[in-house]
Chain A
Amino acid sequence: MNTTALTRLTILIRRELWESPVAFKWTPALIGGFILLLIILALIIGAKVDNQMVFAIDGLRMYAAMDDSQQRLMSSGALFSIGALFHQIMFLVVIFYLAGALYDDRRDRSILYWKSLPVSDTITVGSKILTAGVAAPLTFLAGIAVTQLLLLIIASAYGLAAGINIFTEIWLPANLPRIWLLTLYGSLVQSLWLLPIYAWLLFCSAWAPRLPILMAVLVPVVIGMFQHFWSFFSNFQLPEHNLLWMLLLRIGQGVVPSSIQWQEIIDESQNSGSYRPSDEILMSFQSVNGYLLNWEMWAGVVIGVVLLAAAVWFRRRATDS
């Protein structure tokens, strides 16, 4: 890719962030604020019930007495679950963003302004999918990082009160840089995993005469229902490959922080009675790599690329009516 295409992509992605500040700026800020508010409320209520803060301080001392791997498991569990909440909401935000991305400017006719600039439809569509798949994970990661930092600072204040070494018992097991790097890597792989769904939304956004989000949902639902009934009434059995079910599986089986490797826990527990899961069980570079080696991942990417090409085709003809 040459440099002009790259600068154009960059400014076009900034354009998307300017257009949807609520989706990409205020939503992560609000989720972070909401989590902190809940925690502060819990601490205030806790302080009312237990004004010596015995529970909190005892809890921290017990935590400090655990071995390193248990500390790592507990702190990464807490930190990843924050990331998971952010990412689930991000998925919803991105669905609505993509459904409108190639539709809103057709509706208000400002597409004519964008078309007056020397920017190819491929770069335009590319900027939208990159905003959903790369820029959104980055702005949400900023929200995750700030929230996690503030939580650890609060925990450290209590840790000081409990007289534990906050560096070795809180900050070191939390290992924030690893968590952030892993969250970023995981969310980018997740974007690739969800590419067929993202591309489908963008495709609907490019052609739907109105209500692209409804089209995007209705088409697979109707096809899925039809498959279901057709198979049921023709063979008296449920279909082997149901589109709707495949889509739900796709969404459900993605990489999300704290998407626990249940199978591993079950297998290990059966092998040895004294199995104690490590923090790797929550999310690890290895488990994320596993997605990249999966054929389903690349089948989805191929479908996604085809749908994106179709979106470009419709975008080119969007003014031809």
Chain B
Amino acid sequence: MKPTIYAEQLTRRYGSTIALDHVDVSIPSGRIVGLIGPNGAGKTTALKAILGLTRFEGTLEVLGLDPSKDRDELMQDVCFIADVAVLPRWARVWQIIELTEKLHPRFSREHCMKYLARTKIRQSAKVRTLSKGMVVQLHLALVMAIDAKLLVLDEPTLGLDILFRKQFYSSLLNEYFDEQRTILITTHQVEEVEHILTDLIFIKDGKFIVNSTMDEIYDRYTELMVAPDAIEEARGLEPIHERVLFGRHILLFEDADIDALQTLGELHKPNIADLFVALMGEHQPTQEAA
């Protein structure tokens, strides 16, 4: 089966700065991929290229189509929430539903109404009168009612409170996602998505520096909470990152010898935020620890 997203040497330059630097990637269907990177790393550019919203060099195929040429056709199978609160503010809720129904062949009004019924959003309300959280709920209801093959979410929960964020991801996972669909998410709130991801991509300076499944990540990286007397010995095994929590030293290892580490303290699955800091930090881990 063809991958949902396939890129070869995907590159995008803005003048002399290079936002995407010869990226190769292949994402099959049925995945939830987190695209994580610091500000300005090229996340949004990558998403824009996939959605046909920007020009690019290299090869890019989304659902077998070239987003720069077949954008209108592609949008039948791709949905995106590009940013919070981008629904037209002048519109009333029923008008947006009507528009989406008439313009999108795969939209189901029935489904949309089912999701909306759980919220406090009234059909006669104008978008400008809705709270930020309600706008996201509305947008999610619209998007989940579309039978798409790829859903792209760019910082979908930015600026929302924790209740909305939890609810957002649980609806997405429990009611929308299945084997036929692919979801691509960028976010800064890594901790909230790491449990739902199947794949992880770290992007830095326009390059994908990590691109693997979560299982591979957990096989490859190990976190060690070091026993106080074993710190020096553990440091000798070349951790890629070290942090201190409540006076306990926590070291992150890549491709480490599990048996050797087990004698030095407790082993954990690394959390993505720590891995992110370890791999993205400007400083070398040893300097940071010092």
Contacts and interface: CB of A to CB of B under 8 A. Distances in A.
Interface of A: 4, 7-8, 11-12, 15, 18-19, 105, 108-110, 112-120, 317, 319-320
Contacts of B54: 319-320
B185 interface: no
Contact of A113 (B53, B71, B86, B102): B86
B90 A19 contact: yes
B86 A112 contact: yes
6 contacts: A19-B90, A113-B139, A115-B51, A116-B82, A119-B72, A120-B72
* Residue of A4, A110, A120 contacting most chain B CB atoms (<10 Å): A110
Contacts of A15: 95, 99
A319 B53 contact: yes
Contact of B89 (A12, A108, A112, A317): A108
B179 to A, nearest CB: 23
B6 interface: no
A119 B74 CA distance: 10
Nearest to B75: A118
A150 B28 CA distance: 67
B48 A319 contact: yes
B104 interface: yes
A319 B83 CA distance: 13
Interface string B63-88: 00000000111111001111100111
B99 A110 contact: no
Nearest to A116: B80
B98 interface: yes
A26 to B, nearest CB: 14
Contacts of A116: 51, 75, 79-82
Contact of B73 (A4, A8, A12, A118): A118
B55 interface: yes
Contacts of B83: 109, 112
Contact of B88 (A4, A8, A105): A105
Contacts of B72: 118-120
A158 B153 CA distance: 67
B103 A117 contact: yes
A11 B86 contact: no
Given A8-B103, A319-B48, 12 more contacts: A7-B102, A11-B103, A19-B90, A105-B88, A110-B89, A113-B87, A113-B88, A116-B75, A118-B76, A119-B75, A119-B103, A317-B55
B82 A112 contact: yes
Contacts of B102: 7-8, 11
B213 interface: no
Nearest to A319: B53
A110 B87 contact: yes
A117 B95 CA distance: 15
Nearest to B87: A113
A115 B54 CA distance: 12
B100 interface: yes
Contacts of B98: 11
B99 A11 contact: yes
Q: Which 7 A-B pairs have the closest CB atoms?
A: A118-B75, A112-B82, A11-B102, A319-B53, A110-B88, A320-B54, A120-B72
B258 interface: no
* Residue of A15, A114, A317 contacting most chain B CB atoms (<10 Å): A15
